[in-house]
Amino acid sequence: MATNRFVGYLESRKNITGCAGGMVGLVLTFTGVAGPYWAVVVLGLYGAGALIAPPERPALPDFPDPSAQLDEIRADFAKLQTYLADVDLPPGTATRLRALTDILDALLDPGWVSEILAQDPEGVHAVSRAVRQDVPEAVDAFVRTRWWHRMTPGQEPPEQHLERQLAVLLEESESLAAGLRETEARRQESHTRYLEDRQQ
């Protein structure tokens, strides 16, 4: 640890700037300007250089870019689809779930749509949350509750809760898709105005 710090200081801006100041001190010594106080001059110029050097800037954390995040979400979405294929759902609920997964699939499909999505961090987070948390949790809760419902009939059917949850998630995904479509529409309008203004 101490060795790493020492090596880090040798490579630091403070040491390099201080060494440059010390070299100036040596030049002054050899030209006779420093006189008998040459050691004080060399050390003083080294210290002055080390003090005026800009501080070291820590490296920025290496976060994955949005397209890499989407690649990970795509892999998780494929796992989710495999899981959903094995779940037995009532026909109406299955239709609503298919509509939701179709939108998620379209948003994650590599191409210009996912490129627009990648520029929207909140949208990426919403899709990630739907794929990794909301949909699997809703379906798993339905599967577990359905078993208990068979043991204690007369309670509210678990598919009603699942349908309400899927309705909310479907509305969220449709809203996200509409927002991305609006972004593209505004971009197109801006380009039209730019071209028309160029003619004036």
- Rounded CA-CA distance 141/148 in Å is 11
- Rounded CA-CA distance 197/122 in Å is 33
Q: What is the dihedral of CA 34, 35, 40, 44, to 10 degrees?
A: -10
Query: Which 3 state secondary structure label does DSSP give 160?
Result: helix
Tens digits of residue pLDDT in 128-180: 999 999 999 999 999 888 877 666 666 777 889 999 999 999 999 999 999 88
91 Ramachandran zone, left/alpha/beta (phi>0; psi -120 to 50): alpha
Average pLDDT of the chain is 84
**In the chain, alpha helices (H):** 2-10, 13-30, 38-52, 66-85, 91-108, 112-118, 121-129, 135-151, 158-199
Tens digits of residue pLDDT in 72-85: 999 999 999 999 99
**Whole-model pTM above 0.75?**
no
Tens digits of residue pLDDT in 183-196: 888 888 888 888 88
Residues in the chain: 200
Q: Which has more confidence, 89 or 14? A: 89
101 with 84: CB under 8 angstroms? yes
Tens digits of residue pLDDT in 86-136: 998 888 899 999 999 999 999 999 888 888 888 888 999 999 999 999 999
